[in-house]
């Protein structure tokens, strides 16, 4: 019942203007919710009673004025008064009532606890059944949250992986660059070596030819006169040397 | 204010969900704390129009319901209360016939 009331009130609050016009009362809808003086009604524990049906408040009402035994004294006195003045008439149904009271008392004392336990169990079962759907939904949603978190964690791992792959690609690029740089270096060196070798060869060949040409020219330039003069000169030198020794 | 309406004093924006057991007007002294000399003026202040009486009965009914009948694990108390109340009620309406069964002439 309370839940239905709460539902109706919530619906009224959602469409406050139209609902209130339709209801035609409580025209002043403005105001701040007063949680302190008007808290949400909650389902409480059952009220305490004494003697099976008399509310505890009745006894509390007497306590400050007459003490603890006051309410009982009042009850017994009132009953005595009603019976002695025969305002309460003990006709034949009174004794039927006494026997019925006795039976009710015995039945309550004998079967009350077991019936109460069974009913409490039934109440718990029904409540559990009614809450089951909501609990299932909550569990499912929480599991979805867990899985979503795990997926996010995996996505973060994926980012790490992609970063690693990017670094790997950069490394490959670096390696390719170095390889090509090395290749260019080698090619250039090879060409330069070729040029150097070619130069050396050319120089050597030209030197050799030059030397051959000079030697040949000099050999051809020597006339028989010169040869003879030289030979004479040598012989004279030799004889001079021989004379000196 | 017709049938099935909320009380005039009830303002959903301030009071929140409607509690049928609650009086939303200006609270007076509780009946249990009223002094006997002030009982007359206390009753004079009450709303004795039919709708007021009906509202008081409705609130009393719902207070009893919320306190004894609607909690999750109720005992036998509300049923005994109903039993005693109905016994008293039927005793009263049949009192004219009961009177003829008196056993004593002088008290």
Contacts of residue B7, Cβ cutoff 8 Å, sequence gap at least 6: A25, A26, B1, B24, B25, B55
Q: Where are the domains of chain A?
A: 178-237
Residue A127 to residue A76: CA distance in whole angstroms:
43
Chain A 2-41, residues with CB within 8 Å of chain B CB atoms? 2, 5-6, 8-10, 12-13, 16, 23-26, 28-35, 38-41
Residue B78 to residue A46: CA distance in whole angstroms:
9
Element (H, E) at A160: helix A92-221
- Structure-block tokens of residue A208: 């050799």
Provide the shortest C-alpha distance from residue A73 to chain B (in Å).
Answer: 19
Residue-wise pLDDT for B9-38, tens only, equals 888 888 888 888 888 888 888 887 888 888
Q: Do A84 and B107 touch (CB under 8 A)?
A: yes
Are B67 and A47 spatial neighbours (Cβ–Cβ below 8 Å)?
A: yes
Chain A 67-86, residues with CB within 8 Å of chain B CB atoms? 84-86
Element (H, E) at A55: strand A54-55
pTM of the model: 0.59
Residue-wise pLDDT for A45-90, tens only, equals 888 888 888 888 888 888 888 888 889 999 999 999 999 888 888 8
Q: Do A127 and B72 touch (CB under 8 A)?
A: yes
Which residues in chain A have their CB less than 8 angstroms from residue B15's CB?
34, 38
Outline where B2-49 has alpha helix (H): 12-15, 39-45
Provide the shortest C-alpha distance from residue B98 to chain A (in Å).
Answer: 7
Residue A25 to residue B20: CA distance in whole angstroms:
16
Residues in chain B: 107
Class of residue A72 by CB neighbours under 10 A (exposed 0-12, middle 13-18, buried 19+):
middle
Tell me the range of A8-17, B38-47, B85-94 where mean pLDDT is highest. B85-94
Residue B10 to residue A59: CA distance in whole angstroms:
33
Contacts of residue A107, Cβ cutoff 8 Å, sequence gap at least 6: none
Provide the shortest C-alpha distance from residue A161 to chain B (in Å).
Answer: 55
Residue B104 to residue A89: CA distance in whole angstroms:
10
pLDDT at A60: 87
Residue A195 to residue A177: CA distance in whole angstroms:
27
Residue-wise pLDDT for A120-178, tens only, equals 999 999 999 999 999 999 999 999 999 999 999 999 999 999 999 999 999 999 999 99
């Amino acid at each position: 019942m309370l839940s239905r009331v709460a539902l109706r009130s919530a619906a009224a609050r959602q469409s406050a203007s139209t609902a209130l016009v339709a209801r035609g009362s409580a025209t002043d809808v403005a105001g701040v919710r007063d949680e302190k003086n008007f808290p949400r009604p909650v389902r409480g524990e059952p009220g305490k009673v004494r003697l099976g049906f008399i509310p505890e408040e009745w006894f509390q009402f007497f306590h400050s004025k007459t003490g603890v035994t006051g309410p009982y004294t009042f009850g017994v006195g009132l009953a005595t008064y009603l019976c002695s003045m025969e305002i309460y008439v003990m006709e034949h149904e009174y004794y039927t009532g006494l026997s019925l009271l006795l039976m009710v008392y015995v039945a309550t004392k004998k079967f009350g606890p077991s019936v109460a336990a069974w009913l409490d169990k039934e109440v718990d079962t029904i409540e559990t059944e009614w809450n089951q759907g909501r609990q299932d939904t909550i569990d499912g949603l929480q599991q979805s949250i867990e899985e979503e978190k795990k997926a996010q964690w995996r996505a973060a791992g994926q980012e790490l992986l992609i970063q690693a792959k990017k670094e790997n690609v950069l490394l490959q690029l670096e390696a390719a660059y170095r390889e090509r740089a090395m290749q260019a270096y080698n090619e250039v060196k090879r060409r330069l070596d070729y040029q150097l070798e070619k130069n050396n060869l050319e120089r050597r060949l030209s030197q050799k030819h030059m030397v051959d040409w000079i030697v040949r020219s000099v050999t051809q330039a020597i006339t028989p006169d010169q040869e003879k003069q030289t030979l004479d000169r040598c012989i004279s030198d030799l004889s001079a040397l021989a004379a000196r020794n | 204010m017709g049938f099935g309406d909320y009380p005039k004093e009830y303002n959903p924006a301030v009071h929140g969900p409607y509690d049928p057991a609650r009086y939303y007007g200006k609270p007076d002294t509780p009946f249990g704390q009223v002094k006997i000399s002030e009982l007359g003026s206390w009753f004079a202040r009450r709303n004795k129009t039919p709708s007021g009486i009906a509202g008081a009965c409705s609130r009393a009914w719902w207070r009893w319901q919320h306190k004894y009948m609607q909690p999750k694990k109720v005992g036998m108390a509300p049923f005994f209360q109903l039993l005693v109340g109905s016994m008293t009620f039927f005793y009263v309406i049949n009192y004219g016939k009961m009177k003829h069964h008196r056993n004593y002439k002088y008290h």
